[in-house]
Amino acid sequence: MGPQHLSMRGVLRLVVVPQGENVIDCKLILGYLHRGMEKFVENRTIVEYLPYVMRWDYLATMFTEAVTASYICIIMLELSRVASHLLWLGPFLADIEREMIYDLFEVATGMRMMHNYFRIGGVAADLLYGWVDKCLDFCQYRLPKNYEYERLITRNPIFLKRVKGVGFISRQEAINWGLSTPCLRASRVQWDLRKIDHYECYDKIHWQIKWQIEGDSLARYLALKLLPGGPYENLEGHYIAQEKGRMKWNSFNYQFVQKKSSPTVKLPRQEHYVRVEAPKGELGVFLIGDDSVFPWRFKIRPSGFANLQILPQLLKGMKLVDIMTI
């Protein structure tokens, strides 16, 4: 069976041995696409390949606006989490909300998906004027939808009959297999890296994680309400609007105003591991420095790779129709 996704090209394939409607054996074949990315990064500076390096707490003191930037990081991370979870509601059910999130990303970063916005100790640029208001508008639009989806999906008797009791993972099995995030919390393990590792400003926000099958989607709203004072909006847009009328179109100031080069740093001769709470599991990056701007070794712990290892065990004895459900 597989590949399971149009863009995966054989990354996940299942070799299933059935007997009638039941699965006797299953072999999991995973392609590790991150290997090519890792070798690519080892020949680039950190700034040139930053999307995977999501936070650098030990370098945060280099930036005077690190606290404000940390709140901005939380907002972006939680919006990404919401967009990821909305994807599983169906191709048409939550498309409007996902597009609203992508619009916010596009305004702030210039790209709708795979945006390179995070920087060492902060973000690439301040938020544009009015961005926070638009984000709050999205939150006010989005929160009532939770109850609608609860009625439509979570309380749907057909859905409950289809998934209840299927693919059970005990608490000890989840720990032994190294599962993380939603897969781990669904087995009654109170583990969330946003609480455990205390990264960014999550400790300054009053929020709770539901430790069962539900995921939390309120942290983005709370982070917006606690955005500290100080410059967090990019006011250079007003300067450009005022000055462009008096500048020549081919002048240096006209073309390059608001463009700032990102600093790069030498990685010290030591090892460093960073992990974050990604939507599908723990996402980690292991670095070995060599007193160079290029990492000597760059290793990615993909968020979903470890969670899939338990799949062959879960499928034995189950029905063929339960494979996609699990």
Query: Is 173 within 8 Å of 188 (Cβ atoms)?
Result: no
Provide the domain limits for residue 130: 51-261
Rounded Cα distance between 144 and 274, Å, is: 35
pLDDT digits (tens, 9 = 90+) for 204-235: 888 777 665 433 333 343 465 555 666 656 65
Mean pLDDT, the chain, whole residue set:
76
Q: In this predicted structure, what is the pLDDT of residue 21?
A: 92
Tell me, what amino acid is at 318? M
For range 81-103, the mean pLDDT: 80
Contacts of residue 181, defined as CB under 8 A and 6 or more positions apart, other chains included, come to 191, 192, 193, 277, 278, 279, 280, 281, 282, 303
Distance set, CA 256 to CA 138, 228, 288 (Å): 32, 30, 35
Give the pLDDT confidence of 131-154 residue by residue, as tens digits: 989 999 998 898 888 888 878 877
Q: Please give the pLDDT value at position 249.
A: 47
> What value does the mean pLDDT take over residues 104-109?
90
Question: How many CB atoms sit inside 10 A of residue 259's CB?
Answer: 7
Q: Which helix (H) or strand (E) holds 68?
A: helix 66-86
Q: Is the pLDDT of residue 25 over 90?
A: yes
pLDDT over 90 (residue 53) = no
Question: Could you tell me if residue 87 is inside a domain?
Answer: yes
Report pLDDT for 18.
93
* Residue 138 phi, psi (nearest 5): -65, -40
Answer yes or no: is 283 within a domain: no
Pick from 121-125, 280-284, 295-299: least confident: 121-125
Write down the residue that tokens 């999130």 correspond to.
101
Query: Quick one: pLDDT at residue 252?
Result: 47
Long-range contacts of 163-168 (CB under 8 A, 24+ apart): 163/325, 166/318, 166/322, 166/325, 166/326, 167/314, 167/318, 167/322, 167/325, 167/326
Please say whether the beta carbons of 153 and 93 come within 8 A. Answer: no
Q: Which of 34, 297, 302, 313 is nearest to 174 (CA)?
A: 313
Eight-state DSSP code of residue 309 = G
pLDDT at 245 over 60: no
- Tell whether 119 is covered by a domain: yes
Q: Is the pLDDT of residue 30 over 80?
A: no
Question: Could you give the dihedral angle defined by the CA atoms of residues 55, 59, 63 and 67, in that order, rounded to the nearest 10 degrees?
Answer: 50
Nearest to 80 by CA among 56, 50, 60, 54: 54
Most confident by average pLDDT, 55-59, 115-119, 180-184: 180-184
Q: What is the pLDDT of residue 58?
A: 34
Residue 226: the pLDDT is 58
pLDDT of residue 57: 37
What would the mean pLDDT of 120-140 be, rounded to a whole number?
85
Model confidence at 259, pLDDT cuts 50, 70, 90, reads very low
Q: Is the pLDDT of residue 3 over 80?
A: no
Any idea what DSSP says for residue 307?
G
- Is the pLDDT reported for residue 277 higher than 80? yes
Is there a domain that residue 20 lies in?
A: no
Is residue 303 situated within a structural domain?
no
CATH code of the domain covering residue 118: 1.10.645.10
With respect to residue 231, please indicate whether it lies within any of the assigned structural domains. yes
The structural domain count of the chain equals 1
Does residue 60 belong to any structural domain of this protein? yes
The answer as to whether 195 is a domain residue is yes
Q: What is the pLDDT of residue 91?
A: 60
Is the model more confident about 53 or about 60? Answer: 53
